[in-house]
Amino acid sequence: MSTLFGESPGAFGESAAGAGGGVPYDLFGPAVLAPPAGGDAGGGAPRLDAEGLLDGLNPQQRAAVVHIGAPLLVVAGAGSGKTRVLAHRIAYLLAARGVRPGEVLAITFTNKAAAEMRERVGALVGPRAREMWVSTFHSACVRILRSEAKRLGYGSSFSIYDAADAQRLITMVTRDLDLDPKRHPARGLAAQISNLKNELIDWEAARDRASSHQERTVAEVYAAYQQRLAQANAFDFDDLIMMAVNVLQAFPDVAEHYRRRFRHVLVDEYQDTNHAQYVLVRELVGQPAHVDADAPAAADPPVSTATWASGAVPPAELCVVGDADQSIYAFRGANIRNIVEFEEDFPNAAVILLEQNYRSTQTILSAANGVIARNNQRKAKRLWSDAGDGEKIVGFVADNEHDEAAFVAEEVDRLTDAGLARPAGVAVFYRTNAQSRVFEEIFVRVGLPYRVVGGVRFYERREIRDLLAYLRVLVNPNDTVNLRRILNVPRRGIGDRAEAALAGFAEVERIGFAAALERVGEVPGIATRSAKAVREFTALLTELRAVEANGPVAVVEAARERTGYLSELVAEDTAEAQGRVENLQELVGVVQEFTERSPEGTLAEFLEQVSLVADADQIPTDDGSDGVVTLMTLHSAKGLEFPVVFLTGLEDGVFPHLRTLGDPTQLEEERRLAYVGVTRARSRLYLTRSVVRSAWGQPAYNPPSRFLGEVPDALVDWRRLVEAAPEPAARPWGGSGGFGSGTGGGSGPARRSLPNSPFAGRPAARPVLELSQGDRVTHDSFGLGVVVATGGVGDSAEATIDFGADAGTKRLLLRYAPVEKL
């Protein structure tokens, strides 16, 4: 069913009327609904009668579609047709229950999922689906905030700061507060503040509950950061949710407005919601959040409680869909309790289980079941399929990561030559983005077309961010982060000194940075040359602002050319600069497409949409041609399916990731990730690992992933195993490599050994040096030292070592540090 890659046309292929390909994701808000595929877009929509909407659904699916009243949880196993259920449920609401489209709010996590939902509902009910809000959590909140920003003291043309912007701003804050950037890295502070926001803890609450020095520092940074965001008229990603909740809770009339409007709220991937999103849903539905007795918030019940308790608006009908086994975002605040305790949160809730899988062979499902069954904290659920056993799973043990990639390339080649697969039907999954490189190298060499999802993203490339910074400043002059970013880009002679003088002046005068630029003449301690450059810069901004009237395309072109950005790159005349020029051209193309699709679209609208684009939105869609092999992380793979899947890097330390090995909870999340990976495959699944893998310079011998041992032996055909333990890692450090021997792919004798155990010839894990306080050591570059402290266990063991007057005291990760014990 829900394939984006199989029989149905890509979600955007033919539905993206007028888009003309190119931008592979839907940038456009809920108001823009593509006409239903199949062309019957005229007034007389494809009006299925209510009964017709139930055709072809199994009894559980049908029950979920027709359910009335009480909050409904649909526990939808992988491939069990949940998107179909959601789409049919919405259509059924309209067709059978007289619900008006404007009363429906459907929330997803990615733009791609939202677009697919919109398209599928559109295909069922026709153009009136346009009235619905089908959007991501973030874009729904932006929409709410755009109309209500004034109540929060924000202007409606606020900027949206992504993680990188937030980090820059936090760096500025830590500088202001004179914090040691070594002790308080912006990255860590950003993560902690983000966690607080996901828990709906504002800076005052954070200050009040801080009990350690570290927490007080975080609260202090949080407070200053939030103030700077407000000054810049900007929200960060987490603010979007938190502030939307704030508005709903603080202003009963706002809450009532949305509750009157949305009588049906549907949430996809409910297992990925964090606390803030959970509360948001409850506020929108009109069921104030269930409050723990011991939570501090209990003393201060949300205003909104009174609103619905007084009977103004009865709660909306809620339907959430999710699968606790596919919860893989706990690390960023997703709270699995939201789905696990749904029935406690909503005491009269109904639960429907979808266990029949329409995607994979029974072999693949049995493998998935075998793995996920090892998780303890879990409600029993067993996927089944009537598609038959199909092919066996193929296992492969490679000598090194190049060998592994070569095997994948050969196998893809073999399958496509034999007509068993098209490149578009093949996906290669790995745990971390860094692992894509080896595959890319080999695929380029053998001429296999591919596309990498994620990694260095288009909108994170420096030149793109620079140009977008110009555009953001035009729309929101108070956007200090972006203004300071472009102040001296390209180089125009406004250095750190001048910038500091301007910032100081702004501070003293209590004016914005932009205002300080205008009054550069009064700024003390600024060089005449710099002042002149500043005047030229402000003149440039004025000039660009004048272009704004000519539409977004004109502005982006002007920003590219009149700033001198383009000419600087051209002058550089390197391959890298050439690439950047092309990227800028592509950005112009994106703006052009935006204007074609929304002729009335403003620059501000364009910027909002690019701010909310995610990796997962850029997955290539299958247009029926041979297409390309897709390379992506397991996380990006969720929600997709492919006839052929390679799950690579199955080594303890890689997958499961090193940093999860010591923590059972995190390990369970890794296992769910494995489950997600396995269940993406329709008919062919490959499991591969590598005996040695070079990670940042040094080779690492990792044992086979424990997940391999959890797949029933009988399901796997091991094409290659390694017999003897490879050369043990006896050479401590400085052993001059000797690697890169087997990069030719398929080189070396294929040593076969005893069949069917991934653990045959299990290599020893590379030992980590064990040190204790007082040990004397020698380091390749620091020389002799004495251990003063140790910490961490296993591969994350570290030691603080005093190397004497010359090198000082260092903290080193023993796994990597070139240290020998004496």
* Catalytically annotated residues: 82-83, 268-269, 326, 680
Largest CA-CA distance found in the chain, in angstroms, rounded: 84
Q: Which two tokens stand for residue 496?
A: 């750190």
Q: In the bound complex, what is the minimum distance in angstroms from residue 49's beta carbon to DNA?
A: 35
**Concatenated DSSP letters for 586-640?**
HHHHHHHHHHHH-TT--HHHHHHHHHT--GGGGPPP--SS---EEEEEHHHHTT-
Q: Tell me how crowded residue 764 is: count the other CB atoms within 10 A of its CB.
A: 11
Q: In the bound complex, what is the minimum distance in angstroms from residue 401's beta carbon to DNA?
A: 12
Cα–Cα dist 565/67, whole Å: 58
Which of 513, 593, 426, 547 has the alpha carbon at shortest distance from 16? 593
φ/ψ of 350, rounded to 5, equals -105, 145
Cα–Cα dist 688/705, whole Å: 10
Q: Are 650 and 705 in contact (CB under 8 A)?
A: yes
Q: In the bound complex, what is the minimum distance in angstroms from residue 618's beta carbon to DNA?
A: 9
Cα–Cα dist 442/767, whole Å: 31
Which of 356, 290, 345, 292 has the alpha carbon at shortest distance from 320? 345
Which of 131, 130, 128 has the alpha carbon at shortest distance from 45? 128
**Concatenated DSSP letters for 221-253?**
HHHHHHHHHHHTTEEEHHHHHHHHHHHHHH-HH
Nearer CB in complex with DNA: 126/649: 649
Nearer CB in complex with DNA: 107/421: 107
| 3-state percent breakdown (helix, strand, coil) of the chain, nearest 5 | 45, 15, 40
Q: In the bound complex, what is the minimum distance in angstroms from residue 143's beta carbon to DNA?
A: 13
Q: How many residues does the chain have?
A: 822
Nearer CB in complex with DNA: 264/431: 431
Q: In the bound complex, what is the minimum distance in angstroms from residue 779's beta carbon to DNA?
A: 12
Q: Tell me how crowded residue 550 is: count the other CB atoms within 10 A of its CB.
A: 11
Cα-only R_g, the chain? 28
Which of 372, 361, 431 has the alpha carbon at shortest distance from 684? 361
Q: In the bound complex, what is the minimum distance in angstroms from residue 408's beta carbon to DNA?
A: 19
DSSP 3-state of 421: coil
Q: In the bound complex, what is the minimum distance in angstroms from residue 518's beta carbon to DNA?
A: 19
CA distances from 588 to 40, 616, 648, 695 (A): 33, 22, 37, 37
Side chain identity, residue 656: P
The C-alpha angle 553, 556, 561, rounded to 5 degrees, equals 120
Q: In the bound complex, what is the minimum distance in angstroms from residue 136's beta carbon to DNA?
A: 4
Q: In the bound complex, what is the minimum distance in angstroms from residue 332's beta carbon to DNA?
A: 5
Side chain identity, residue 480: T
Nearer CB in complex with DNA: 187/751: 187
DSSP 3-state of 672: helix
Cα–Cα dist 265/261, whole Å: 10
Nearer CB in complex with DNA: 260/462: 462
Cα–Cα dist 16/33, whole Å: 9
Q: Are 286 and 308 in contact (CB under 8 A)?
A: yes
Cα–Cα dist 691/401, whole Å: 8
Cα–Cα dist 408/394, whole Å: 11
Nearer CB in complex with DNA: 258/430: 430
Q: Are 552 and 588 in contact (CB under 8 A)?
A: no
Q: Are 333 and 273 in contact (CB under 8 A)?
A: no
Q: Are 46 and 36 in contact (CB under 8 A)?
A: yes
Nearer CB in complex with DNA: 106/555: 106
Nearer CB in complex with DNA: 415/520: 520
Cα–Cα dist 61/54, whole Å: 9
Nearer CB in complex with DNA: 497/762: 497
Q: In the bound complex, what is the minimum distance in angstroms from residue 355's beta carbon to DNA?
A: 27
Q: In the bound complex, what is the minimum distance in angstroms from residue 777's beta carbon to DNA?
A: 18
Nearer CB in complex with DNA: 550/578: 578
Nearer CB in complex with DNA: 264/485: 485
Nearer CB in complex with DNA: 635/684: 635
Q: In the bound complex, what is the minimum distance in angstroms from residue 660's beta carbon to DNA?
A: 6
Cα–Cα dist 37/39, whole Å: 5
**Concatenated DSSP letters for 393-446?**
EEEEEEEEHHHHHHHHHHHHHHHHHTTS--GGGEEEEESSGGGHHHHHHHHHHH
Nearer CB in complex with DNA: 131/162: 162
Q: In the bound complex, what is the minimum distance in angstroms from residue 433's beta carbon to DNA?
A: 4
Which of 320, 322, 325, 389 has the alpha carbon at shortest distance from 360? 389
Site of interaction with DNA (CB under 7 A): 109-110, 136-138, 162-163, 181-182, 185, 187, 237-238, 328-329, 331-332, 431-434, 454, 462, 488, 491-498, 527, 529-530, 612, 614-617, 633, 635-636, 657-660, 666, 695-697, 816
The C-alpha angle 608, 609, 615, rounded to 5 degrees, equals 125
Q: Are 797 and 791 in contact (CB under 8 A)?
A: yes
Cα distance from N-terminal residue to C-terminal residue, the chain: 63
